[in-house]
Chain A
Amino acid sequence: GESVGLHLPTLSVQEGDNSIINCAYSNSASDYFIWYKQESGKGPQFIIDIRSNMDKRQGQRVTVLLNKTVKHLSLQIAATQPGDSAVYFCAETGGTSYGKLTFGQGTILTVHP
């Protein structure tokens, strides 16, 4: 079935490094993508989103890249901080499933001081 998945389940970086988290999706009808951050014991927190008519979007210290040709999404975090340690999920919606978010498996990001 349609799914959204991540290549790497864990990522460890040093404080100050840049982090890149990847996501693959298979639903060609997907037209809206979101990255969420989930800290232990909490609900997902919106980080950044991107529509399918864009290939790049920047926020504060974060950048999302979308490659529709290969159905790939990435989240780049600049100057990673210990407070960035969390699980990161990509999610998508679109086609006939507006309102229904399909989440990927998640990547655990650990930032070492």
Chain B
Amino acid sequence: NAGVMQNPRHLVRRRGQEARLRCSPMKGHSHVYWYRQLPEEGLKFMVYLQKENIIDESGMPKERFSAEFPKEGPSILRIQQVVRGDSAAYFCASSPQAARTSAYNEQFFGPGTRLTVL
């Protein structure tokens, strides 16, 4: 059973370009979470999605960032008009059950996408 897949693993963008990060959850998982990690810091929650629904986006910047998890295909984290401060590692995690019905659900993390903005 493959784990959480993320691609690309490394992404370089110039200021003002768009970055698209992809996450394929583990088989059978319908809940996806995105986190951002700055160097030498812990992970910061960004957004929690189920298929075709955003459940909690309280950690997502209001501008330039968006996320989706369509009925078919991977979850996408999109960053428009990137700035140097967006340089970070972006991790996706997935879980098999609804977080609100089972708080004690392990989140399985992917290997991350390291975004560098020049």
Contacts and interface: CB of A to CB of B under 8 A. Distances in A.
A34 to B, nearest CB: 8
A89 B45 contact: no
Interface string A59-73: 000000000000000
Nearest to A36: B109
A81 interface: no
A44 B45 contact: no
B56 interface: yes
B29 to A, nearest CB: 13
A101 B18 CA distance: 27
B109 A45 contact: yes
6 contacts: A32-B103, A44-B91, A51-B104, A98-B99, A100-B48, A100-B59
Nearest to B103: A98
Interface string A83-113: 0000001010110011111111110000000
Contacts of B109: 36, 43-45
Secondary structure at the A interface, as helix, strand, loop or mixed, is strand
Contacts of B58: 100
Q: How large is the interface on A (under 10, 10 to 19, 20 to 34, 35 or more residues)?
A: 20 to 34
A101 B33 contact: yes
A99 B56 contact: yes
Contact of A106 (B33, B42, B45, B112): B42
A51 B93 CA distance: 20
Nearest to B102: A98
Interface in A12-41: 31-32, 34, 36, 41
Contacts of B4: 43
B91 A46 contact: no
A92 to B, nearest CB: 11
A102 B45 contact: yes
Contacts of A89: 42-43
Given A43-B91, A43-B109, A44-B91, A103 B103 contact: no
Residue of A43, A44, A102, A106 most packed against chain B (CB within 10 A): A43
